[in-house]
């Protein structure tokens, strides 16, 4: 069984490739399609907070085999029927309100802090605007958006070798609330 964040069924060739990589016959593969505009879609995006952070840490040089534990939290964005609004909300839940913590071995505190301080979404030049606005300014092209944006708001790491806990980033509840359509404080 595989969950895909999509509104449309993938082409037959993609289904065959997924089945092949999973080493199951096509008839043995179950696909769950979760549009971003659904409760399932919104939930699964927030559920990927740890994955989002690991991807960023790997990009910055962390060997994922040296991460022994990980935990993260992100609010589940309210569902919206328009895809662009829903996508903005789900991304903002991670970018401005998400937290991820990792336990890591094999790095000095100095090495690890150099990585951790570059890991949060605030390391991006695009940070500080709702994702829907960023996406619009990029002409709705993900590849025009600074990839450093795609990360939790706060990233922390416990260094197993020293016991130090290193943290960087901050939440921005003003942007988060605006994105969710909530009243401002």
The average pLDDT across 55-64 equals 97
- Using DSSP, state whether 110 is helix, strand or coil: helix
- 17-40 pLDDT, tens digit each: 999 999 999 999 999 999 999 999
Task: Take residue 3 and report the two structure tokens written for it.
Answer: 């969950």
Confidence (pLDDT) at 52: 97
Largest alpha-carbon pair distance within the chain? 54
**pLDDT given at position 112:** 98
Q: Which residues pair with 4 in a beta bridge?
A: 33
Cβ–Cβ < 8 Å for 78, 46: no
Closest by CA to 101, choosing from 76, 67, 148, is 67
Nearest alpha carbon to residue 32 among 63, 3, 66, 71: 3
The mean pLDDT value of the chain amounts to: 95
CA atoms within 13 A on the CB side of 101: 9
Q: Provide the whole-model pTM.
A: 0.89
pLDDT of residue 71 exceeding 80, the answer is: yes
Q: How far separated are the first and last CA of the chain, in Å rounded?
A: 43
pLDDT at 1: 84
On whether the CB atoms of residues 157 and 165 are closer than 8 A, the answer is yes
**Phi then psi dihedrals of residue 88, to 5 deg:** -60, -45
Q: With contact defined as beta carbons under 8 Å apart, do 131 and 95 qualify?
A: yes
Phi, psi of 138 (to 5 degrees): -90, 15
Which domains are delineated in the chain? 1-33 (no CATH), 36-180 (3.30.1030.10)
Is residue 64 predicted with pLDDT exceeding 90?
A: yes
């Amino acid at each position: 069984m595989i969950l895909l964040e999509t509104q449309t069924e993938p082409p037959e060739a993609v289904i065959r490739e997924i089945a092949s990589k999973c080493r199951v016959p096509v008839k043995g593969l179950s696909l769950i399609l979760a549009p971003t505009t659904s409760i399932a879609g919104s939930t699964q995006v927030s559920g990927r907070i740890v994955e989002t952070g690991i991807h960023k840490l790997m990009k910055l040089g962390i060997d994922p085999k040296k991460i022994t534990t990980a935990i993260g939290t992100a609010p589940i964005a309210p569902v919206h029927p328009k895809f662009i609004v829903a996508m903005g909300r789900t991304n903002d839940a991670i970018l401005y309100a998400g937290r991820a913590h990792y336990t890591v071995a094999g790095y000095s505190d100095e090495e690890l802090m150099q990585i951790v301080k570059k890991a949060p979404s605030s390391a991006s030049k695009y940070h500080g605007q709702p994702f829907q606005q960023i996406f619009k300014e990029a002409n709705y092209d993900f590849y025009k958006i600074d990839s450093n944006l795609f990360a939790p708001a706060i990233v922390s790491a416990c260094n197993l070798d020293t016991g130090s806990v290193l943290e960087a980033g901050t939440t921005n509840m003003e942007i988060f609330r605006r994105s969710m359509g909530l009243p401002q404080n």
